[in-house]
Every structure is written in structure tokens, then in C-alpha cells.
Amino acid sequence: MDSRTNIGRVRGLGSAKHGGEHWLKQRLTAIGNVLLTAWFVASLLMIPSFDQAALAQWLAQPLVAVPMILMIANIYAHARLGLQVLIEDYVHDDGLKFAAMTLLNFYVIASAVFGIFVVAKLAFTGAPA
């Protein structure tokens, strides 16, 4: 028996009001990725030399470092949303799901920070010898 009033029962149930957020973020980061990876592929095709000194100079330019940082951040944001769905769909055990989701967040955030740091360091301090 539930002695609460009708309105008391209804409150706290139902939608969390976040239904569209994941879906919409997935699409917005997807559009971002189309643009940023198109830039990246075009840049790769136009790089004249693939030796380290030339690449370091290339990567340290603001017009390369900024889109590269944006691309890393956007790809990992998109990957986190997508891999989250994979885990939700295929990992059914609650404990395993929690572990997988934790690992996913660690992987995504650590990788994104690492990549952004590498590019930023090169852009701010110049190419090492």
C-alpha cells in the first residue's frame, strides 16, 4: 500500500528532461567532425614534407594548432557519446557496465587532455631541436 497522494507519487517519476541532449550532442559533434576531419585530411594531402622538423613547424602554427585542438576535443566528445551507447547496448551486467563506463571516461578524458597538451606545448614553446 502506498499512502502518498497522487501528486506525490507522480513527482520524481517520468522523464529526467535529458532525453534529447545525448542525441543532439551526438549530431552536433558529428557535424563538427565532418568539418574538422575534412580540414585534417586536406592538410595531410598538402604537407610537402613528412620529416619531424617540418611537421613540428607546421603543427606549431596557430592556424594548424587551433583546428587540431578543436578536432581532438570534438572527436573525443563524439567518441564518448558513441561508445557510451555501445556499452549501454551490449554490457548488461550492472557492475561491468559501471566499470566499462568508468574506463571509457578515463580513456576519453586522459587521451583528449594528452593530445591537446602536446599540440599546445608545441604551439606555445616552439619546435624542439
Partner 1 sequence: MAKNPNRPLSPHLQVYRWSPQMAISIFHRATGFVLATAGMMTLLWWLSAIGGGAESYATFQQYVVSAGADGTALQIASNWFFRLVALAVTFSFFQHLASGLRHLVLDIGAGYELNTNRLWASVAFVAAIFATALVALIVASRFLGVL
Q: How far is the CB of 51 from partner 1 (least distance, A)?
A: 8
Give the Å distances, CA to CA, from 26 to 9, 19, 31, 99, 114: 33, 12, 9, 22, 22
Half-sphere exposure of 91 (CA within 13 A, CB side): 15
Map grid coordinates 513527482 to a residue.
Answer: 11
Q: How far is the CB of 101 from partner 1 (least distance, A)?
A: 14
| CB nearer to partner 1: pick between 63 and 129 | 129
**The three grid cell numbers given for residue 48, joined into one nine-digit string:** 610537402
Residues of this chain that interact with partner 1 (CB under 8 A) are: 27, 30-31, 33-34, 37, 50-53, 55-56, 59, 68, 75-76, 79, 82-83, 86, 111, 114-115, 118-119, 121-122, 128-129
Q: How far is the CB of 94 from partner 1 (least distance, A)?
A: 22
| CB nearer to partner 1: pick between 8 and 82 | 82
| CB nearer to partner 1: pick between 53 and 99 | 53
| CB nearer to partner 1: pick between 2 and 50 | 50
Q: How far is the CB of 123 from partner 1 (least distance, A)?
A: 10
Question: Coil, strand, or helix at residue 74?
Answer: helix
Give helix 62-90 / helix 19-46 axis angle, nearest 10°: 140
Helices (H) and strands (E) in the chain, counts: 5, 0
